[in-house]
Amino acid sequence: MGRAVRTTVFALLAATQVFFACPALGRDPVAPLPELLAQARSLSSSGRFADAYALLADAEDEYIGEVQFDYALGRAALDAGYPARATLAFSRVLALDPGHAGALIDTGRAYLALGNFEQARATFESLLALDPPPGLRAQLQGFVQQARTELPRRAALSGYVAATLGRSSNVNQSPGQAQVFVPLFGARFDLVEQNVRKADRYWSIAGGLDGSLPLSETYSIVGGADLIERQNFRESAFDLGGLGARLGLAAAGGPNLVRLQWIAARNYLGHDPSRDVEALGLEGFRMLSPDAQLAASAQAGRIRHLPEALRVFDANFVAFGAGASRRFAGSSTLSGGISAGGEHDVGGNPDGDKRQLGFRAAADAPIRARLNASLSFALQRTGYDRVNPAFLVERHDLRRDLELSLQYLLEEAWSARIGVTWTGQRSNIPIYEFQRRELWLMVRRDFR
């Protein structure tokens, strides 16, 4: 081994260093993560799921352990028909972010694709236990029903309990002014103290049960019960309570679901029975894709007040609703809907029959591990068909509701939520105008 050999070895070592130092000589350089994810989304949106998966799989050594990458890789694997590989990617996401809703939902979808229906059901029910927004809740219920149709027929029961502490600027939903002008008499009158806005702190407890008993692969008996008790620290005359029950039949075809239920509820005001509501309700949910869903509902029933003085507000009612929800980037959810309905006066309401039209929109998005933010807005316009004899106008109301909340997953079945709610109602009859602000903290425990 003379000088020529030493020169050859040195050249080989130098070439090896250059080979590993310059990615262009060994393999194509990996694109930056945002660019890579954008390319994968573009391929998936064009239906090229296998290409999207191949693109991300080639970059796995570079970005493994990055939550965004692992989640995108899992989604691509699932869409490309590799559910087992998808569960591995989702497990890495959940190891770092146990509350990642998108990874949990798609893990359940992967279990469905693998035929592991028991684990799929448990996964979707664990997400329902997090009290998701209405659009996502309906979507999860469809997945649960899909998983249950493949399992041996057996009864299923789930429930929750929640405790809330808060403060309201207007516990009696009354105007802030103590006087009101009455056109019939051409004079101002003082409102009784109970009809002027009152602020107070409050606490509440709530609970609910949902059950189903499969009759066949398609049909199930479904039902449930709910209760709530809300008490003010000082203004006990405006304490609220309610009991409700429902029973009916559900039909499922794949992820699509229809429910027909009889609903009965009793409300309490100041610990005395206030009114009874009975209705027949129909709900339908149709999955357009794993991330998009349509929903529709219809109800018809009656409202009967128990105190003699309130029976003037007795009515029969109908209500209709339609909405849609869409999941983006796997975790964030947008939902919206419209509603319409009316009440036919049967008690002699001076305002006559009621008609209403409403709109609702909501968004839910993760902020960090275990922490989600929710925002919802609702608008409802109400009109009546009779001239009020005291105020000499047909009543028209416009109500707006806005809520912002943060939810933190404490552990699998426990969650905490803090929120602020604002409600404002404008009316051409001043005694029906009010504003209310509430700040609250809720702790919830779910069972299944």
CATH code, 102: 1.25.40.10
Tell me, yes or no, whether 121 and 261 share the same domain. no
Q: Which of 222, 287, 228, 299 shows the shortest CA–CA distance to 256?
A: 287
Same domain, 165 and 119: no
DSSP class per residue in 93-106: HHHH-TT-HHHHHH
Treating both helix axes as pointing N-terminal to C-terminal, what angle do 49-58 and 67-79 enclose, rounded to 10 degrees?
Answer: 140
Task: Tell whether 402 is covered by a domain.
Answer: yes
pLDDT at 112: 85
Q: Residue 27, class by beta-carbon neighbours within 10 Å (0-12 exposed, 13-18 middle, 19+ buried)?
A: exposed
- Does residue 145 belong to any structural domain of this protein? no
Which two three-digit tokens encode residue 298? 């219809």
116 and 170 belong to one structural domain: no
Same domain, 32 and 164: no
Report how far residue 158's alpha carbon sits from residue 175's, in angstroms, rounded to the nearest whole number: 41
Give the pLDDT score at 212.
Answer: 86
Given a contact cutoff of 8 angstroms between Cβ atoms, the answer to whether 322 and 338 are in contact is yes
Please tell me the distance from the alpha carbon of residue 209 to that of residue 14, in angstroms, as a whole number. 71
Among residues 209, 213, 278, 288, the alpha carbon closest in space to that of 250 is found at 213
pLDDT along the chain (448 residues), means of 10: 45 42 49 83 83 86 85 87 88 83 86 84 77 72 74 78 96 78 66 79 95 85 95 94 96 83 95 94 87 91 94 96 84 91 95 96 86 94 95 95 93 89 95 94 90
Asked, for residue 1, whether it belongs to a domain, the answer is no
pLDDT of residue 25: 42
Residue 189, C-beta contacts closer than 8 angstroms, at least 6 positions apart: 179, 180, 181, 182
Which string of b and e fits 153-172 if b means at least 16 CB within 10 Å?
eeebebbbebebebebbbbb
Find out whether 406 and 372 touch, Cβ atoms under 8 Å.
yes
Q: What's the pLDDT at 11?
A: 43
Q: What pLDDT, on the 0 to 100 scale, is given for residue 366?
A: 84
- List the Cα angle 262/263/267 in 5-degree steps: 160
Q: Which residues pair with residue 398 across a beta bridge?
A: 381, 426
In the prediction, which pLDDT does 26 show?
44
**What integer pLDDT is reported at residue 403 of this predicted model?**
97
- Tell me which long-range contacts 32-35 makes (C-beta under 8 A, separation of at least 24): 33/63, 33/66, 33/68, 33/69
Domain boundary among 128, 146, 177: 128
Backbone angles phi, psi at 28, to 5 degrees: -65, 140
Q: Are residues 72 and 199 in the same domain?
A: no
Q: What share of the chain is helix, strand, coil (3-state, %, to 5)?
A: 30, 50, 20
In this structure, the answer to whether residues 224 and 361 fall within a common structural domain is: yes
Q: Which two tokens stand for residue 55?
A: 């693109």
For residue 136, the model assigns a pLDDT of 72
Residues 47 and 181 in one domain: no
Same domain, 296 and 396: yes
Q: Which of 133, 190, 165 is nearest to 325 (CA)?
A: 133
Residue 172's CATH number: 2.40.160.60
d(CA 374, CA 366): 9
Domain presence at residue 281: yes
Nearest Cα residue to 356 out of 298, 396, 315: 396
Query: Residue 139 falls within a domain, yes or no?
Result: no
Q: Are 227 and 240 in contact (CB under 8 A)?
A: no
pLDDT at residue 29, as a whole number: 65
pTM, rounded to two decimals: 0.77
193 and 342 together in one domain:
yes
- Does residue 6 belong to any structural domain of this protein? no
Q: 237, 245, 306, 303: which is closest to 273 by C-alpha? A: 306
Q: Verify that 265 and 398 share a domain, yes or no.
A: yes
* Cα→Cα distances 208→129, 160, 226, 233, 413, Å: 12, 5, 4, 24, 15
Q: Which residue has the tokens 């609910």?
A: 208
Q: Hey, what are 230's tokens?
A: 């809300």
Full domain range(s) for residue 118: 19-128
Contacts of 66 (CB under 8 A, 6+ apart): 33
In the numeric block, which tokens belong to residue 60? 């796995």
Residues 199 and 335 in one domain: yes
180 assigned to some structural domain: yes
For the chain, the domain total comes to 2
Let me know whether 289 and 183 are in one domain: yes
Q: Is residue 141 assigned to a domain?
A: no
